[in-house]
Structure 1
Amino acid sequence: MTQPQTSTASPPAPAKAQQVFSTGVARGRDPLDSATSTSALGQDAIQVLGARSLGDILRNIPGVRTESSTGDGSSAYTIRGLPLASGGSKYMQIQEDGLPVLEFGDFFNGATDIFIRADFNLAAVEAIRGGSASTFASNSPGGVINLISNTGDVEGGAVQVTTGLDYDSNRVDFRYGGPITDTLRFHMGGFYRSGEGQRDAGFRAYEGGQFKFNLTKTFANGYVRLSGKYLDDRSPHYLPGPVRITGTNDNPHFGSFEGYDVRRDFMMSGHLGDVVTLDADNNPAVLRRSQGQDAHVRSIGVESRFDVRDWTIIHRARYSEVSGGTTRNLVSAIYSGSAMPASLGGGAGTFTYATGPNKGQVIADLGAINGNGLVVASALNRVDSSDLGNVISDLRATRVFAVQGGELTLTGGLYNSTQSYRSDWLYSNHLQDIAGGGQSALINYTTPAGVLQSQDGYRGFNRSGSTAFFRRRYDVDYDIAAPYGSINYRLGRIAVGASVRYDAGQVNGQLYGADLGGGRVGILPVDFNGDGVISPAETRTAFTPLDRPAPVDYSYDYVSYSTGINFRVSEPFALFARYSRGARAGADKVLFSSKVSMTDGSMPDPEDGYDIVEQLEGGFKYRTPSLTVNVTGFSADTEDTNVQAGAITTDREYTAYGVETEAAYRRGPFSLTGGVTWTQAEIVNDKFNAAVAGMVPRRQPDFIFQASPQYDSRKVSVGANIIGTTSSWVQDVNQMKMPGYVLVNAFVQYRPRERVQLMLDANNLFDEVAFIEITTPSVPANGIGLGRAANGRTVNLSLRYDF
């Protein structure tokens, strides 16, 4: 994904003498006067990262760990060693102009970053880690990341065309804004893009765009801003695929199989065809494979700020219609064709291609197919999020009093949100070969007696076997009311503050699925091809028992608080310390579990409705015109109820401590920004698996780091963005580690004349193999594993004109 750019390069320079940071705090302040850990990326800094997704941008924020190789959405995010047991962003809230995109950032296959895009509308990204994030936003004890839009403060616009030089990608970005009258201004912008994408799919996997606008009316004592957003976009969902794993657990080796490159291929091939299954209403349907991660958002919002009798009153509200979902190919198991299990026809029968250019052709030697001899059992599935809409309001009032020679700041507010969650899980399963270049095809199996066991490559129209496991419907609404307040007293160089928030949530709705038990049946025969005969595959059709719902009817409440002290030792130097206690509501991760009664929908233990996070942090901030250094030590104790494999499998406590450092230096035309985060994390206990107590959480490295050197002249800018991690355990059992990695993105900008810019940028310049996820816990005897690597090298060329 090409990011916003400006016509003249301006590297991410050290902070100026005065800054104002406003995300997750009571009142915008200079960071050196606030007992918080904050970072900001301006539009100019974002442009040179070589980012292809929002996750690529956010991993450049110190303290933020991002597993970003799934495509435009469904990346996994966490902060400062807080657990990352599943996808999305459980403890970190992603906001757009001060309000959350989704109330919960880790819905199953409905993560926040699916429904937000970074384009020319983006002015800056602000991030607060820990601190007052617990009390100035709901469900965000780890931190808040806020994408802030341009608002037309400066008249002008730009248009840019970007094309991929070594992959199929074409994109147009535009923006324009400025004053209409002395008291009225506007901004509008967006993008449209199309192409196969970074991996060989064999079909157009990216298609769509976004349009946003805002209109600001200023008054003598404030302003009112109306904003709107329309997003209609789709992108592929890159899931784990085959990985060759050899060696020993102490010295493993990871790589690609013959004919399948872990950097460029994925298992959702164009030859698989569309997804045949029952739709959400149990009717036979064909769902477009190319939907991928599709996002449909229509929102309208209003923001106002007025000074009334020494009070500053700020109100933000937004109504959003959000829908979409994820169509993906979930690999269940990978087999050597010469050692197929009997349940899949191993040892007897005939295999033939069911789709692709070789359709109908007999596979003479399954053990030698495509030079790798591998066959995959996988599930083509659609998680259809028909309604993730929300209505959100945040009203606050702040006043500064002169008290005893100092400043006393009082803030009070009320947050309300209503979040819908209507989602259907639709599955089918099949056999396919492993072939690169988007050439993978489905395989049929016929018994020695001549009985076809699969239909057009489908072994069943469920997830696997003969059960209806995971065929589900969620129809739930979350209502949250959260009053909050803070007090801060600043006297000379010392500022002391505290804040508190009370979250009360009501959860109502219904669940549907054979998983609920109680005699709910989930399998029936369906004649999908209409030939009047029920094939063996058609007997294995999962349906949703819509006539036997289970109720959801419970409430929860918790108190969050934070207190801190800041000492401005001198103009360039400050010390701070802070303690915070926050929480995150369980959302969908507690549904379909024993924590919610299947009889009346209640939650017998109210504390099951949320997970507590306690954090202690302290450090220093140093800033001069040429150098900025921020160092923060932290520790965190976290509760986590989560899902790793479809039902509640973790109910844990974690602990973590570490140090995060960020710095920026500039001298003449040269600049350097970067950060390093050192983390030591441990699973304290797990109610369901005592064996993992004392283990390091999976995929938690000791170090994550980023650096961006840059050189600028009048006509040319050149630089790089370097990100990396050290090694980490592949799973919580701590048997095998996956290697760390260093990825380099690079760019060159050339400005041949005023307002014209050419830019060449490369992501993963050296085409490194960097594994983000390995799901296989130890070295397998047959060398066949499952995992996900970063995308290989992709190079963009863009031409921009500013006006």
Structure 2
Amino acid sequence: MRGTAASISLGAMAMAVPSLAQTPPVEPRQLSSSPTIIVTAVPRGLNRLDASISVSTVSPDEISILSPRSTAEIFRNIPGVRAESSGGEGNANIAVRGLPLATGGAKYVQLQEDGLPALQFGDITFATADSFIRADLNVLRIEAVRGGSASTLVSNAPGAVINILSKTGETAGGDIRAGFGLDYEEYRLDFDYGAPIGDDWRFHVGGFYRRGEGPRKVGYDGNRGGQIKGNVTKYFASGFVRLYFKYLDDHAVSYLPAPARVTGSDSDPSYQSLPGFSINGGSPYSRNIRTALTLDRDNRPVRDDVADGMRSLVRQVGMEIQVQPGDGWTLRERFRYANTSGRFTGLFPAAVDNASTIATALGGAGASIAYATGSLAGTTIATPATLNGNGLLSESAIFDVRLRNLDEIVNDMRAIRDANVGGGKLTLTGGLYLARQYMKSDWRWTSLVSDVRGDGNAALIDIRNAAGQRVTEAGVYGYGATYFGNCCRRDYDLRYDIAAPFAAMSFLRGKWTLAGSVRWDNGRTRGNLRGVAATVGSLDVNGDGTISPPETRTTLLPAARSPVRYDYDYVSWSTGLNYRLDREMSFFARYSRGGRANADRILFGPAIDAAGGIADKSAAVDFVRQAEAGVKYRTRRMELYATLFHANTEEQNFEATSLRFLDRRYRATGVELEGSYFSLNGLGLTAKGTWTDAKISADAITPANEGNRPRRQAKFVYQLTPQYRRQLFTIGANIVGTGDSYAQDSNQLKLPGFTTVSLFAEVRPMPRVSVSIGANNLFDVKGFTEAEEASIPVNGIVRTRSINGRTISATVGYSF
């Protein structure tokens, strides 16, 4: 079977080991199935042992054993990559080699599909690149290049490039997979088919559709939608032309930080679920909290649906042409247009405390509370201290963001020339990368009061003062980001243009290969924004003819727009040396400097002046300098890779929820280890580990942080993936572990290390038919990836985000 039960349930990879009809009776596949030729962040396809870069691959066979519940969960099995896959099927935080996760998203890592970026910037606020990617049966393999040539052959990716490559129909065949959750509600159907058409044509098409509540309780179908992708290729004597398309329309729940009880000390904390709220299986979402009454970008009342969640809508077409006209020349052109938009709607707790404490804080002494929604709407809560067994209320904000336009136009053209020079082979590459990224969003938040329960039945709460007058209205305390200082009513309309000529060379002589590359990125930002000076006023938001107390706390966008108009440019370069000892082993060393242009995260801070220009030119681009050296060993049954790295990173950024501006330098040193072995009797093992010593080397705003470990950065992470495969069955496990880290850069409250175990089992009772079961996080471990608090507060409630608890799913598949 090429389908995995685990991934069926969540929009990750619904594929696994081949069906019985395709399985050799004795000789098992290599577990990692690493290809000899890599195509990511290199001028053209290159033997892995000849490349002076650190690169890893993940095959469909391996992904099935991982039992992933999101695409980001696949990425955490790449050495050097830190993927905080606790937010659902998008909004993941992804970093590499100790480079900082100072805010969110993937600032220094670019996510690609078939060699072109999903978005030009991986950390667009509320629109991270992984939100617009779904890995399914279309995937041929995933390649990840850390450091090195990622700095120069890609824009805005000095840390790493993770490239999801699609099948192209080279081999005739397809799959149909039907899967469902055994201990949670979700149903999914996957399919793919590809084949040659005559001697010169190939095609492939595939996709999925799913629907259900998802791995956590929300009270409604939170995950719903699907994707279809396809391509057709025409081969001719000197090359090929490929056309491809993608249509993605998907909704997914965004799991934001939620309350947990923390006891002990900052250095030795114990995290526990609250009564009535499982931190790894519950959520604050509810069938009783569906409507978000707010204002649009023209200050007009609108009603949005919280169940929109993270909506990703992508209509994409592209083209790839490769021609070899002769005399050592290769010409390649890649083009893509993506019409992209969506929503981000999520519940974020600004504060969680005893019900009486919050009622008094908002309604004054003698305040009372009552249910505002649900079956008990209008009923007074006489004993708040026993409410839901925890006696808590939450001051929550609805992060309601409309991603109006994230359209992207990308063109990458390059010419490659091979020549014999000085007894060796010289390869020269020249190219031009052109891109346009639109960024049109408006933020329209609402502030609520709710009870704390995680079974999909939470309710909004109304507060009355001692005189019986309402302080809230239908659970709404303010029509804006009232709990965040009315910060976040924003509207921006921007366009980012990039023109980047680049050049690369490599010279192979004997066992030595010398490589070098340079890139000159030129950026232009044009547009306007509102929200720097949003005002608080009164407005009849619900249209009932009166002004209620919450309506006096309405955040309004000003009519005037502020311009954004600045240019930037920077040069990246990289050079490396590779020594091929023999056909099985090589050594390499490389040094690189790459840049990352800052986008929307510097718009509302001191980096932009009144005229829309850059007040401090250093804020426009952050640089990463990396040195690395490694060894690679590969035989038919064994692979071993080890890379030492050292990186110095600049960081200027802004975090939306804490309203913090950052101006820092970081230093990280470490080692990546990766190995695999498979035997003739069907046993296989891959093992990966990364040790990182990372420090904040300078902090212009908070010097006290200097010398501390960056938040959420563990010193050691590892993955083990064993499997046993025979003709009639396959069993495997994926073990992922991480050491302790700190919740914040002050290095007070620790996030305990944890290890998860996922299991996969498949039976092939007859040719082409397979039945499988996948268990993700089998032992229901609570693994915390972030926390809002820097230290345990007096009430012991910490807003934190945990990985999903145990989920088990089943799949029935048919291959043809």
- TM-score, structure 1 length as denominator? 0.97
Counting aligned pairs with the same residue, the percent is 43
Distance (whole Å) between structure 1 residues aligned to residue 726 and residue 770 of structure 2: 13
Select the residue among 668, 672, 676 that pairs with 1:656: 668
Aligned to 2:180: 163
For the 8 Å contact 2:30–2:637, the answer to whether it is kept is no
Q: How far off is 1:465 after superposition?
A: 5.2
**Of 684, 700, 703, which aligns to 2:716?**
703
Once the two structures are superposed, residues 375-396 of structure 1 have per-residue CA deviations (whole angstroms, 9 ceiling, x without a partner) of 1001113111100001000001
- Report the equivalent of 1:315: 333
Work out whether residues 337 and 368 of structure 1, in 8 Å CA contact, stay in contact via their aligned partners in 2.
no
Q: 1:359 aligns with which of 377, 393, 397?
A: 377
Q: Which residue of 1 aligns with 2:290?
A: 273
Change (3 A) 1:437 1:567: same
Q: Give 3-state SS (helix, strand or coil) of 1:469's partner.
A: coil
Is the counterpart of residue 767 in structure 1 residue 780 in structure 2? yes
Match of 2:792 among 771, 779, 788: 779
- Contact 2:285–2:456 (CA<8 Å) still a contact in 1? yes
Aligned 8 A contact 1:12 1:45 in 2: no
Q: How does 1:530-549 map to 2 (within 5 A)?
A: 530-545=543-558, 547-549=559-561
Matched, 1:586 2:603: no
Q: State whether residues 590 and 648 of structure 1, in contact with CA within 8 Å, keep that contact through their aligned partners in structure 2.
A: no
2:395 is paired with a residue whose SS is: strand
1:613 corresponds to which residue?
Answer: 624
Establish whether residue 720 from structure 1 lines up as the match of residue 733 from structure 2: yes
Q: Distance in 2 between matches of 1:68 and 1:465?
A: 27
Query: Is the counterpart of residue 287 in structure 1 residue 281 in structure 2?
Result: no
> Are the counterparts in 1 of residues 395 and 483 from structure 2 also a CA contact under 8 Å?
no
Structure 1 counterpart of 2:561, one-letter code: P
Q: 2:156 & 2:116 partners in 1: Cα distance? A: 12
* 1:241 counterpart = 2:254: no
Residue deviations 1:98-157, cap 9 Å, x none? Answer: 000100000001001111100111111011000100000000000100000111111111
**SS state at 1:199 partner:** coil
Counterparts of 1:86 and 1:468, CA distance in 2: 20
Q: Which runs of 5+ in 2 are unaligned?
A: 1-6
Q: Secondary structure at the match of 1:132?
A: helix
Between 548-557 and 781-790, report the one with greater CA deviation. Answer: 781-790
1-structure distance, mates of 2:767, 2:130: 35
For residue 95 of structure 2, what is the aligned residue in structure 1? Answer: 78
In the TM superposition, what is the alpha-carbon distance from 1:11 to its structure 2 partner? 5.6
- Aligned partner of 1:604 in structure 2 is 615
Instruction: Report whether the alignment pairs 1:570 with 2:585.
Output: no
Q: CA deviation at 1:341?
A: 6.6
Tell me the equivalent position of 2:3. none
Q: What does residue 339 of structure 1 align with?
A: 357
CA deviation digits over 1:258-310, x for unaligned, max 9?
11110111112221131111123221111011100000000100001010132
1:675 aligns with 2:692: no
List runs of 5+ in structure 1 lacking aligned partners.
none
Match of 1:635 among 639, 646, 665: 646
Question: Could you say which residue in structure 2 is the equivalent of 1:797?
Answer: 810
Query: Which residue in the other structure is 2:634 paired with?
Result: 623
SS in 2 for 1:272: coil
Matches within 5 A, 1:548-563: 548-563=560-575
**Deviations for 1:456-490, whole angstroms, at most 9, x for unmatched residues?**
00011111159642100111100000000011111
| Selected match of 2:705 from 684, 692, 699 | 692
Partner letter of residue 33 of structure 1?
Answer: D
Aligned residues of 1:763 and 1:793 also touching (Cα < 8 A): yes
CA contact (8 A) 1:15 1:623 kept: no
CA spacing shift, 1:12–1:389, aligned 2, 3 Å: farther
Aligned to 2:4: none
- Give me the whole-angstrom Cα distance separating, in 2, the residues matched to 1:636 and 1:429: 41
Q: Is the 8 A contact 1:555 1:606 kept in 2?
A: no
Contact 1:14 1:626 in 2 (8 A): no
For the structure 1 residues 465 and 289, does the alpha-carbon distance in structure 2 shift closer, same or farther, using more than 3 Å as the test? Answer: closer
1:14–1:623 Cα contact (<8 Å) kept? no
The match for 1:210 among 218, 224, 227 is 227
Say if 2:109 and 2:161, in contact at 8 Å, map to a contact too.
yes
Instruction: Indicate the SS of the match to 1:153.
Output: coil
CA–CA separation in structure 1 for the residues paired with 2:407 and 2:234: 28
What code does the residue aligned with 1:772 have? T
The residue matched to 2:72 in structure 1 has which SS? helix
Among residues 489, 508, 513, which one is paired with 1:495 in the alignment? 513
- Taking the TM superposition and a 5 Å limit, the aligned residue runs for 1:387-402 are 387-402=405-420
- SS of the equivalent of 2:550 reads helix
Cα distance between partner residues in 1 of 2:358 and 2:489: 27
Is residue 2:214 matched to residue 1:197? yes
CA contact (8 A) 1:153 1:185 kept: yes
User: Cα distance, 1:524 vs. partner?
Assistant: 3.0
Q: Name the counterpart of 2:169.
A: 152
Once the two structures are TM-superposed, the CA of residue 716 in structure 1 deviates from its matched residue by 0.6
Displacement, 1:80? 0.5
Aligned CA distance change for structure 1 residues 466 and 62 (closer, same or farther; 3 Å): closer
| TM-superposition CA deviations, 1:21-62 (whole Å, max 9, x none) | 010011211111110000111222212210011001111111
- Cα deviation digits, residues 315-334 of structure 1 (max 9, x gap): 10001100002100111001
- 1:644 CA drift (Å): 2.7
1:370 aligns with 2:388: yes
- Does the 8 A contact of 1:15 with 1:628 survive in 2? no
- The corresponding residue for 1:665 is 677
Counterpart of 1:750, as a letter, is V
Q: CA deviation at 1:640?
A: 0.6
CA contact (8 A) 1:340 1:346 kept: no
Question: Matched residue of 1:271: which SS?
Answer: coil
The code of the aligned residue for 2:51 comes to S
Alignment RMSD, CA only? 1.4
1:429 corresponds to 2:439 = no
SS in 1 for 2:388: helix
Which amino acid is 1:28 matched to? G
Give 1:582 deviation, angstroms: 0.2
Q: Which amino acid letter does the alignment assign opposite residue 388 of structure 1?
A: L
Query: Would you say the 8 A contact 2:628–2:645 is kept in 1?
Result: yes
Q: Secondary structure at the match of 1:137?
A: coil
Residues matched between the structures, number = 795
- Match for 2:765 among 752, 756, 770? 752
Conservation of the 8 A alpha-carbon contact between 2:31 and 2:61? no
CA separation in 2, counterparts of 1:340 and 1:503?
Answer: 51
Determine the structure 2 residue equivalent to 1:131: 148
Tell me, what secondary structure is at the counterpart of 1:270?
coil
Within the alignment, does 1:51 sit opposite 2:68 as a pair?
yes
Q: Distance in 1 between matches of 2:264 and 2:455?
A: 28
Partner of 1:741: 754
8 Å CA contact 2:252, 2:310 repeated in 1: yes
CA distance in 2, matches of 1:447, 1:697: 44
In structure 1, how many angstroms separate the alpha carbons of the residues matched to 2:313 and 2:436?
18
Shift in Å at residue 338 of structure 1?
A: 3.5
Length-normalised TM-score, structure 2: 0.96
The residue type paired with residue 549 of structure 1 is: R
Q: Secondary structure at the match of 1:48?
A: helix
Paired residue for 2:273? 256
